[in-house]
Structure 1
Amino acid sequence: MAFDADEEILQDFVVEAGEILEKLSEQLVDLEQNPDDSDLLNAIFRGFHTVKGGAGFLQLEALVNCCHSAENVFDTLRNHKRKVDSELMDVVLEALDHVNAMFDQVRNREELTPAPDSLIVSLDALAEPASESPVAQPAAPVSAEPVADGDDGGYITDDEFEQLLDALHDGAPGAGPAQTESSSEPAPTGADQGADAGAGDDITDDEFEALLDQLHGKGQFAGAPASEDAAGSSASAPESVPASAGQPAQAGGDDLITDDEFEKLLDELHGKGGGPTGADTAKAEPEPAASAPAPEPKQPEPKKAEPATPAPEPKPAAKSAAPARDAAPAAETTVRVDTKRLDDIMNMVGELVLVRNRLQRLGADSEDEHMHKAVSNLDVVTTDLQAAVMQTRMQPIKKVFGRFPRVVRDLARSLKKEVNLVMHGEETDLDKNLVEALSDPLVHLVRNSVDHGIEAPEVREKAGKPRQGTVTLSAEQEGDHILLAIEDDGAGMDPEVLRRKAVEKGIYEQDAADRLTDNECFNLIFAAGFSTKEQISDVSGRGVGMDVVKTKIGQLNGQISIVSELGKGSRIIIKVPLTLAIMPTLMIMLGEQSFALPLVNVVEIFHLDLTKTNIVDGRECIVVRDKVFPLFHIKRWLVKGAAGNAEPENAHVVIVAMGTKQVGFVVDQLVGQEEVVIKPLGRALQGTPGMAGATITGDGRIALIIDVPSLLQHYS
């Protein structure tokens, strides 16, 4: 392995290959649904080819071998010599798993674990044509207009390209197509022909152009300026064979071709690549060239494109060879920044927010007009800076969604179900920490929809539904929150079954269970150890997954709720803040101590006569607009010595929500809304029930941030 290679080159490979492998998982599942999509086949082929090229540059042989075998399979598929089916996709997806595992080892600088020999053998077998009937390879590429052939879209295989090159050098001067096509071009001199015949390694510019004419039609690459300058340029650039292919470059009196012209040539030979992928396609071509006697003209292509796969940085060096052409090279518009540095900047912005809050409080007490103006300007600048820094931490939720096509596909096959996954809002941005934190809960919920929600195809048919079920995953931004929804058109939930299970497991007495609303019944699935499955499987049945989901969403200051209709399906909705770094809160006072309630939990606030409360099931409650809310005096829990004090007759009540459950908190004083920066508690206070952290308020005090779910779970 070449982990001692330039660290920058290795990092470039990790970044580029990581993006390609993320796409491949989704593309492979799409291919199974659309097996005749030639663009998708070519994209997957180029993906494996690019990763192979970068791994080869770093001498990662195990990764090269696995990618090469997978690449051969897709070369066979895109040439219509085999059809895509589920069994083939099982093998290819297994290969992708091993490629991902090796890629993780590369990222961690560990020794690579090669893919099993049996897998490589299976891939090599799938790379063979499905039919044993011989394919007349030489005939296709030398036809007059191969581009018009609808079967292969104008693409040729590497073997066909090699045979065309051999035809130019193997002493078949009368072998018509090459000679006939080139007869209309300016003939090379006798000295040139003799040199080519003797060397057997190089072809002239005219011969290469004639070869392109045979592949893509007469005159597509040969322009008038090109033929005038051919003789002069061939002597000065014997190695730059691709330069003659891009003749427009020579019209300017230069041997070199631009990157765009080089990419266009590669796209024509290997299928539309676009961007660096096209260059990568050319990079790894020396392998078939090694088996042919005279494929030397292919060598300049890898030389030019090779650095592009693992290291985009050398590319400007190639441009500098032609300063006249690229007078104003485009400046780089992106830069890679360590996430720790972004976190540090975010922390400093948080401190600036605290200073702003303090100055706003001081400015409110001042009558100085200039002071008010300065504080107002500081407020605007701080808000804009905060938004800009938060934007740098944002990532599209597609980074999470991209794994679900594979999850759904594999689970549906193991359960013998037919499931279609639909995704909306993949470009919705949210904080990178949230993207990582939401990954596991969403996997649980999607697997739950496929396992519990979607019925078997036969059951769906009997119910008058299509055999294939649908799971919809969507994301959208709503103010300063993100709404995520997982919906299925399956069996839905039966509230009566959930009530019965709750009684069986001792969660509720029968009387209390009978009083539960349907929504409260649906939320029972989040209780620890609760499951409606009669048999435990490796997918579900232990009653752990949904409890973990609710706990995790609660830690993210989010809410989760369920809507379901028996026979129609279920919809799970998650609401989480855009960022975890700065939180809007409602500041309250309990005695002389300040506390912050996350605004996401606050539903409404009102003034209450505490003498008009009721007792239900031994718990103090209030009735507001015909709705009953349990009432909690949190001052008794959080302020020392408050339990024995006489209660006032009137107080402020804050209604807070957790999912579909709502309760009332009695507080002494409402201070107002304030954005706070969450600071972790010190070692002595870590793990304090009901506390999510601390912050510094605008008046300079320290306020504890209340974790509503944890508070109620511990004290109530």
Structure 2
Amino acid sequence: MGFDVDEDILQDFMIEASEILEQLSEQLVTLEQQPDDKDLLNAIFRGFHTVKGGAGFLSLTALVDTCHKAENVFDILRNGQRQVTPELMDVILRALDTVNVMFAEIQNREEPTPAEPDLLAALEGYCRPETEDEAVEDSLTEVTAAAPAEPGLAGLDDSQYQQMLTELGPESKASTSAAASDSDSDDITDDEFEALLDQLHGAGKHGGAPEVAAPESEPTALDDDLIDDLEFENLLDELHGSGKGPTVTASASSEPAPAPKAEPAPAPAPAPATSAAKAADKAPAKATTHSAPADTSVRVDTKILDNIMNMVGELVLVRNRLLSLDANHENEDISKTVANLDAVTGDLQGAVMKTRMQPIKKVFGRFPRVVRDIARTMKKEINLEMVGEDTDLDKNLVEALADPLVHLVRNSCDHGIEMPEEREAAGKPRAGVIRLTASQEGDHILLGIEDDGAGMDAQKLKEIAMSRGILDADAAARMTNNEAYNLIFAPGFSTKVEITDVSGRGVGMDVVKTGITSVNGSIHIDSEKGVGTKLQIKVPLTLAILPTLMVLVGKQTFALPLTNVDEIFHLDLTRTSMVDGQLTVVVRNHAIPLFYLQDWLLKGEPRARQQQGHVVIVAVGNQQVGFVVDGLIGQEEVVIKPLDQLLHGTPGMAGATITSDGGIALILDLAGLIKAYARRYV
């Protein structure tokens, strides 16, 4: 194991290998759709080769073996000696999964578990040209057919064999000796071995017998284009151990590079994937025309970035306080200074946020493999389209959205896209389409998952909900189609009759809702039976600094996450009514449940419900709810501070913040608040 090397070297390997393995997952799925793409074949070959080289330097033998065999398969593919088939891709993807498992073990500083023998054997089988497959089968057939023709000596041990020779006499011994001599003829002699080394290294340059001129009628192999890349790699592996070949030093002449000396150079990097002659020809020209690019990146621990972000958050609070104080003064110089501070703070906030940003491709990149595997398992034909992969998102959000998005994509593959025969019967193309989109709108990110599958049947969803006690008949009759679609987020709800590896346990969509609401996001469903389903997820751009609506309830200030606020209007009691014992307000002919926040937040201060105030309509998951508040302060960016340990577990409280006037406001967790006090609306 190579964990005793310098930690920086190990970290460099893990960072580089991690990026390569992510790319390989996408490239392999793309290759199955574009099997004749030579550039893609070469890129995959280089990916396995690079990982193998780094693993060889760290003496990670198990990883080297798997990558080396996968690399050999792609060398055969890129040379046109094999065709890409689904069966071959199954083996290669399984090899990639094995490499990923090994890589995870290495990250945990554990010895990587060797690949299973049947996988290595399958890779080995694909390492030879397709023409040899038939030859091997033919030779096995001939051996099997010829085996019964010589039954004579199969069951004799050594003593019985010698006794038989003695009884037969000296003639049999002589013939046996001759036969033994013939059987040894498969071993090459010293002269033949020297000649073989001369072909590989040049006469007399391998430390063996002195150089002997080759006859003019028999030119050596050096007159050709030397050995190819793979043979050169294999030769170095044999001479120095797998993945430990010395770096080839380019010379000015076009002659082949000499073999390494008895004391190899200390640099243990893997040998380059070019022949010695080509390296000798090209290296000098490159050295004179190009210089190595300067390293413009630096690796920083995410904890340091989080600390910087926290300090920027504190600066934002100070800025808010100064802006509030400046509004009460008429000093022009102070106003200009505060305005400059406001601009600089905004720029600094944006710059620091960029250090935490990652492209949504970090999540999208895994979906081609997910869709491909599910399609193969369920015998469906599915095409995946991805738009907006470069959209940036906070690192914490990327991690938080990974599992919910996987559930949604798997759900589209399983429940959405029909079988090819069903699609043809409905007049659709045999292959279904799943489309992933990402875009930024203001301070929010919109994610879309759309399929052209069977869509959802609102009536069927209502019947399932009633049969499982989630819904009663009266509520089902009043429910709109969009409200019925949201039933799939109820805990334990599933439309699957049979449980499979893909779905059917009723936990996936519940996890989706929980994961999205935990990052102050919302999800909306639109579907049409027989046409398809579209889901739209809305999440904030970052979790570090939260835009809020500051409101008054009594004399206390509370902050509502702005991402949940849909609209605000003045309280009008003439627009309220009681429905099933619940106070509601009618907005554009739609009844929305109405709650007085004072009943939940000011329990120790009994007071009559106010006749004047404002109604704040918020979106909680997929449900709209109205909150009655006493006053509106305005929009404000806040930094979430954790609650004291004594307040942990308080229903509906996400944290606290310092307001622009220096006071303290509690930040409301709207989903938790309604779950605690109005369960029927969650």
Normalised TM-score (structure 1): 0.77
Determine the C-alpha separation between the residues in 2 that align with 1:65 and 1:417: 34
Deviation (angstroms), 1:463 = 1.1
SS in 1 for 2:645: coil
Determine the C-alpha separation between the residues in 2 that align with 1:597 and 1:543: 31
Instruction: Check whether the contact 2:386–2:435 (CA below 8 A) recurs between aligned residues.
Output: yes
1:100 is matched with which residue?
100
Counterpart among 646, 660, 671 of residue 698 in structure 1: 660
SS in 2 for 1:687: coil
2:45 is matched with which residue?
45
Number of aligned positions between the proteins: 588
Determine the C-alpha separation between the residues in 2 that align with 1:657 and 1:119: 51
Instruction: Check whether the contact 1:396–1:430 (CA below 8 A) recurs between aligned residues.
Output: yes
1:222 is matched with which residue?
none
1:450 is matched with which residue?
413
Encode CA deviations 1:180-221: one digit per residue, 9 max, x unaligned. xxxxxxxxxxxxx9x9994589xxxxx99x96xx659xxxxx
Determine the C-alpha separation between the residues in 2 that align with 1:60 and 1:589: 62
SS in 2 for 1:474: strand
Deviation (angstroms), 1:610 = 2.7
Deviation (angstroms), 1:661 = 2.2
Deviation (angstroms), 1:353 = 0.7
Counterpart among 590, 615, 630 of residue 653 in structure 1: 615
Deviation (angstroms), 1:534 = 1.3
Determine the C-alpha separation between the residues in 1 that align with 2:463 and 2:589: 28
Counterpart among 602, 610, 616 of residue 565 in structure 2: 602
Q: Which amino acid aligns with 1:605?
A: I
Matches within 5 A, 1:655-694: 655-694=617-656
Is 1:286 aligned with 2:249? no
Determine the C-alpha separation between the residues in 1 that align with 2:541 and 2:474: 41
Deviation (angstroms), 1:538 = 2.3
Determine the C-alpha separation between the residues in 2 that align with 1:659 and 1:617: 22
Higher alpha-carbon deviation: 620-629 or 390-399: 620-629
1:140 is matched with which residue?
none
Matches within 5 A, 1:68-147: 68-132=68-132
Determine the C-alpha separation between the residues in 2 that align with 1:482 and 1:542: 30
Determine the C-alpha separation between the residues in 1 that align with 2:27 and 2:200: 38
Determine the C-alpha separation between the residues in 1 that align with 2:385 and 2:478: 37
SS in 2 for 1:663: strand
Determine the C-alpha separation between the residues in 1 that align with 2:406 and 2:265: 44
Shift in CA distance, 703/436, structure 1 to aligned 2, threshold 3 Å: same
Counterpart among 288, 302, 327 of residue 339 in structure 1: 302
1:146 is matched with which residue?
none
Instruction: Check whether the contact 2:651–2:673 (CA below 8 A) recurs between aligned residues.
Output: yes
Shift in CA distance, 608/64, structure 1 to aligned 2, threshold 3 Å: same
Shift in CA distance, 383/284, structure 1 to aligned 2, threshold 3 Å: farther
Shift in CA distance, 479/421, structure 1 to aligned 2, threshold 3 Å: same
Deviation (angstroms), 1:283 = 7.9
Higher alpha-carbon deviation: 454-463 or 611-620: 611-620
Instruction: Check whether the contact 2:575–2:586 (CA below 8 A) recurs between aligned residues.
Output: no
Encode CA deviations 1:244-265: one digit per residue, 9 max, x unaligned. xxxxxxxxxxxxxxxxxxxxxx
Deviation (angstroms), 1:75 = 1.1
SS in 2 for 1:95: helix
2:65 is matched with which residue?
65
Encode CA deviations 1:453-482: one digit per residue, 9 max, x unaligned. 111111111111111111111111111111
Normalised TM-score (structure 2): 0.80
1:14 is matched with which residue?
14
Deviation (angstroms), 1:444 = 0.4
Determine the C-alpha separation between the residues in 2 that align with 1:133 and 1:126: 9
Higher alpha-carbon deviation: 683-692 or 13-22: 683-692
Encode CA deviations 1:250-283: one digit per residue, 9 max, x unaligned. xxxxxxxxxxxxxxxxxx9769xxxxxxxxx998
Is 1:496 aligned with 2:529? no
Deviation (angstroms), 1:648 = 2.3
SS in 2 for 1:417: coil
Determine the C-alpha separation between the residues in 2 that align with 1:668 and 1:490: 47
SS in 1 for 2:349: helix
SS in 2 for 1:573: strand
Deviation (angstroms), 1:628 = 2.0
Shift in CA distance, 74/325, structure 1 to aligned 2, threshold 3 Å: closer
SS in 2 for 1:132: helix
Is 1:638 aligned with 2:601? yes
Encode CA deviations 1:631-675: one digit per residue, 9 max, x unaligned. 110111011334x31122211111111344212110011000000
Determine the C-alpha separation between the residues in 1 that align with 2:585 and 2:674: 17
Instruction: Check whether the contact 1:560–1:574 (CA below 8 A) recurs between aligned residues.
Output: yes
Deviation (angstroms), 1:432 = 0.6
Counterpart among 354, 357, 363 of residue 320 in structure 2: 357
Determine the C-alpha separation between the residues in 1 that align with 2:326 and 2:66: 66
Instruction: Check whether the contact 1:283–1:303 (CA below 8 A) recurs between aligned residues.
Output: no
Shift in CA distance, 168/307, structure 1 to aligned 2, threshold 3 Å: closer
Deviation (angstroms), 1:394 = 0.4
Matches within 5 A, 1:106-505: 106-132=106-132, 166=199, 169=202, 198=210, 215=225, 286-287=236-237, 297=258, 307=269, 330-505=293-468
Shift in CA distance, 284/637, structure 1 to aligned 2, threshold 3 Å: farther
1:188 is matched with which residue?
none
Q: Which amino acid aligns with 1:652?
A: H
Give the alignment's Cα RMSD to 1 decimal. 3.3
Determine the C-alpha separation between the residues in 1 that align with 2:410 and 2:404: 10
Instruction: Check whether the contact 2:48–2:68 (CA below 8 A) recurs between aligned residues.
Output: yes
Deviation (angstroms), 1:367 = 2.3
Instruction: Check whether the contact 2:638–2:659 (CA below 8 A) recurs between aligned residues.
Output: yes
1:628 is matched with which residue?
591
SS in 2 for 1:331: coil
Shift in CA distance, 85/675, structure 1 to aligned 2, threshold 3 Å: same
SS in 1 for 2:471: coil
Q: Which amino acid aligns with 2:433?
A: T
Encode CA deviations 1:360-384: one digit per residue, 9 max, x unaligned. 1112122222221111111111110
SS in 1 for 2:633: strand
Determine the C-alpha separation between the residues in 2 that align with 1:556 and 1:73: 44
Determine the C-alpha separation between the residues in 1 that align with 2:260 and 2:537: 55
Matches within 5 A, 1:560-639: 560-610=523-573, 612-639=575-602
Encode CA deviations 1:382-411: one digit per residue, 9 max, x unaligned. 110000000011011111111111111111
Q: Which amino acid aligns with 1:695?
A: T
Instruction: Check whether the contact 1:484–1:574 (CA below 8 A) recurs between aligned residues.
Output: yes
